[in-house]
Amino acid sequence: MNQIVLYQPEIPPNTGNIARTCAATGTALSLIEPLGFSLEDRYMRRAGLDYWEDLTLNIFPGWEPFVTSLDLRDGRPGDGGTRIALLSTRGVRRYTEIPADQPVALVFGPETRGLPADLLARHREDSYRIPMKPGQRSLNLANTAALILYDLLRRQGFPGLE
């Protein structure tokens, strides 16, 4: 199963909107702590509306427990395992190059600072970006997650979706 992973998310409505996208597509949502808000935040709950009961939600106390859950070997998935794709304005490849031949964990950083440089350095070849006009800082996190997830699902043949 594909998943969207939010590394230390900060803005409740973004997480709520992403949760709604995940529920509608059968994509798991993994949150890596610390979170910048309570999961009971009313703005996040309202953004997710009645989709919460259809959501597969995982919460990890840090990066290493998350990576361990993927059963990565030397930073790479085993046969049939989940591939990792870090999304950042500093990514080295375009998001359209994310391999779609196995489940993917799409990892996004906190809204105000993005993924840490050391994490991007460790997974350099698995870092991706959305092409943008020079000088633009970034796109909205919820919009970016939806854009990249739907492109991945399209290339996977929209499994389980009508």
Residue 132 has pLDDT above 60, yes or no: yes
Q: What is the DSSP letter of 107?
A: E
Residue 117 has pLDDT above 70, yes or no: yes
Residue showing tokens 């939010």: 6
Crossing angle (nearest 10°) for helices 141-155 and 12-25:
20
pTM of the model: 0.91
| d(C-alpha 52, C-alpha 13), whole Å | 14
* Chain segment 5-48, per-residue pLDDT in tens: 999 999 988 998 999 999 999 999 999 999 998 887 676 666 65
* Chain segment 44-74, per-residue pLDDT in tens: 666 656 677 889 999 999 999 998 888 655 5
Q: Which CATH architecture has domain 3-155?
A: 3-Layer(aba) Sandwich (3.40)
Cross-strand partners of 5: 30, 107
